[in-house]
Structure 1
Amino acid sequence: MMILYPNRADKAVITGGEWQIPLDRLKAPSPLKRVARSASAALADTQFDIAFDRLQTVKAVALANINFSLAAMWRIRAFDDPEMTVERHNSGWIRVYPRLYSTKSLSWRDPNFWLGGPTSESLEGLTQQAIYLPDPAPFARYWKIEIDDQGNPDGYLDIGRLFMAGGYQPSMNYVYGGGLGLETKTRVDEALGGNEFFDRRKTYRVARIGWDYLPEQEALEKAFDLQRQAGIDREVFLIMKPGDEVNLTRTSFLGRFRQLSPLEQIVYRRASTAFEIKEIQ
């Protein structure tokens, strides 16, 4: 699994395309619901360039709180020069929404039977996101992201956050018993007659994962320092199953540490710790 932090895009210069609500909205600490909005759905408008202050290793690129249609494609490229003539990485045009269902779980009558992608109903209630994991992770300063969703019914594209980061990938996976759950703040009021009334709120994901025998030096340098730097107020991006394309969007999300956990020395030069990460919507 991977915990991505810090978000390099927050300090980057982001330009390009044509945006009626500016691209600065892609950076924290703007609330996720405050989006950047393109002037139209034309390909020339729905792209942007990212310039870091120095060379950076990027293990993941993510767009959170998007309104892209099910047919949307995107391309992520990295360059060695600001003119973007020397290409270091090219994802090619790939689907924003990958396969989410196995063929065995679908009926041939289902509209998504052949490609296994999401349907509008299956995305309801989710904070929609696009995730790309380059392999190997490029070491570059200049990037370009292009989105091809010219048939978007809204006539424009919304993006709430751009997340580009390196991060911590432990030398061993979390122990069995780690979990990914759903929580909600939906309020339930019961009348005297027994009828129930609901103030419906969106559900959000919460991951609880831990390690029993991390090397002590790794635990101090990575897990301990990560919590110290991120605290409970700064954004991290959790990817629980980076090799599982079908479940990548189900098990990955923008979040924050709900609480900070101590390191416990279990045996000689081995430490245990745990993370609890709550989804940001």
Structure 2
Amino acid sequence: MANIILGFPNRIDSAVLAGGAWVESLPLANLQDRALARIARSLSLDSTSTQFTIDLQQQRTLKVLAFVAHNFSLSARISLIFSNAADFSDPILTITSDAWPSVSDAEWDLDALEWENDNFWLGTYLQEDIEGQTPTCSILLPQDVLARYVKVSIDDSSNAAGFVQIGRLFLGGAFLQPVINNDRGATIGYEDSTNVDMALSGAEYFDRREPVRVMRFTLSELSVDEGFGSALELVRRAGVSGEVFVIANPDDRTYGATRNFLGRLRQLSTLEILGTMSARQGWLHSMAFEIKELR
């Protein structure tokens, strides 16, 4: 199990996006709108329509890229090119990833799948598995990349909708990844704000709301630099409104679509100076986190 990553800040809002072919009323610029309902939608599934470039205006350290509230099919693939040349003539990193985990990059237990299952041959999610929560495709780069330009190409030619759409894009660095992972007892769950009304007869009626993910964990063995330079600095800069992308376990390529999400700090925790020493890290510090998924 690899150590948790908190991605911050989201560099997409100060970037310049261009390329592809997008519905006039649902433009590429909607990726820079925090309202997930304001989507960017391609005119078609043609490769020239579903690609675009990102100019970050200056070199940025990048580690995490995530598509939030997308409609990618189970067979979609994403290609990324990072460069400091506007024409991408000198790429720093080129990477291709499945939008959803599959046997090509995840450890699915094929023995647990029935012959009749839709995903028997792919070893991936069923359609019903990905419904009922905000679809999130997160791509963790193999190393930190210092780059100004990113080219995104989406290959989803079998998408039944006839287009791809995305509600939000996260692009940022790993602001905090502790040397020692979070304590045992970390939790992730769903909160459901569905309204329930009861008639005089006792019959119940529901105003259905989509559940949101909430993760709680504590980092109790932070070094001085991790405590003051990352954890406390994240609290100061993000506040309760800043976007934070959670990657619970970077090695989890099977359930990452469930465990990784775009959220915010629900409350601003204090940094506790424990007064105990570690041979590797000096004085230890502790901070608790509660991160609520954004809609």
Question: Normalised by the size of structure 2, how large is the TM-score?
Answer: 0.90
Letter in 2 for 1:96: A
Q: Does 1:265 align with 2:273?
A: yes
1:171 corresponds, among 179, 191, 202, to 179
Contact 2:68 2:262 in 1 (8 A): yes
SS of the residue aligned with 2:163? coil
Q: Does 1:209 align with 2:217?
A: yes
* 2:280 aligned partner: none
Q: 1:218 deviation in Å?
A: 1.8
Q: Does 1:117 align with 2:124?
A: yes
Q: Does 1:22 align with 2:30?
A: no
SS of the residue aligned with 1:114? coil
* 1:146 aligned partner: 153
Q: 1:46 deviation in Å?
A: 0.4
Mapping for residues 102-251 of structure 1, pairs under 5 Å: 102-166=109-173, 167-251=175-259
What CA distance in whole angstroms lies between the structure 1 residues aligned with 2:38 and 2:185?
36
Contact 2:42 2:165 in 1 (8 A): yes
CA RMSD of the aligned region, Å? 1.5
- Map Cα deviations across residues 187-239 of structure 1 (whole Å, 9 max, x no partner): 22233433222221111100001122312332111000001100111111000
The percentage of counterpart residues that share the same residue type is 39
What CA distance in whole angstroms lies between the structure 2 residues aligned with 1:131 and 1:272?
28
Contact 2:52 2:152 in 1 (8 A): yes
What CA distance in whole angstroms lies between the structure 1 residues aligned with 2:118 and 2:56?
42
SS of the residue aligned with 1:138? strand
- Structure 1 unaligned blocks of 5 or more: none
Q: Does 1:52 align with 2:56?
A: yes
Letter in 2 for 1:277: I
What CA distance in whole angstroms lies between the structure 2 residues aligned with 1:206 and 1:104?
31
Q: Does 1:3 align with 2:6?
A: yes
SS of the residue aligned with 1:259? coil
Contact 1:178 1:210 in 2 (8 A): yes
* 1:13 aligned partner: 16
Q: 1:58 deviation in Å?
A: 1.1
What CA distance in whole angstroms lies between the structure 2 residues aligned with 1:260 and 1:230?
9
- Map Cα deviations across residues 98-155 of structure 1 (whole Å, 9 max, x no partner): 1375223321221102322112211111211211111122221111000011232222
- Map Cα deviations across residues 14-40 of structure 1 (whole Å, 9 max, x no partner): 111111222111114x30111111121
2:72 corresponds, among 63, 68, 74, to 68
Letter in 2 for 1:119: L
* 2:93 aligned partner: 89
Q: 1:10 deviation in Å?
A: 1.6
| Larger mean Cα displacement after TM superposition, 265-274 or 55-64 | 265-274
SS of the residue aligned with 1:58? strand
Q: Does 1:279 align with 2:293?
A: yes
Contact 2:136 2:260 in 1 (8 A): no
Contact 1:241 1:247 in 2 (8 A): no
- Structure 2 unaligned blocks of 5 or more: 277-282
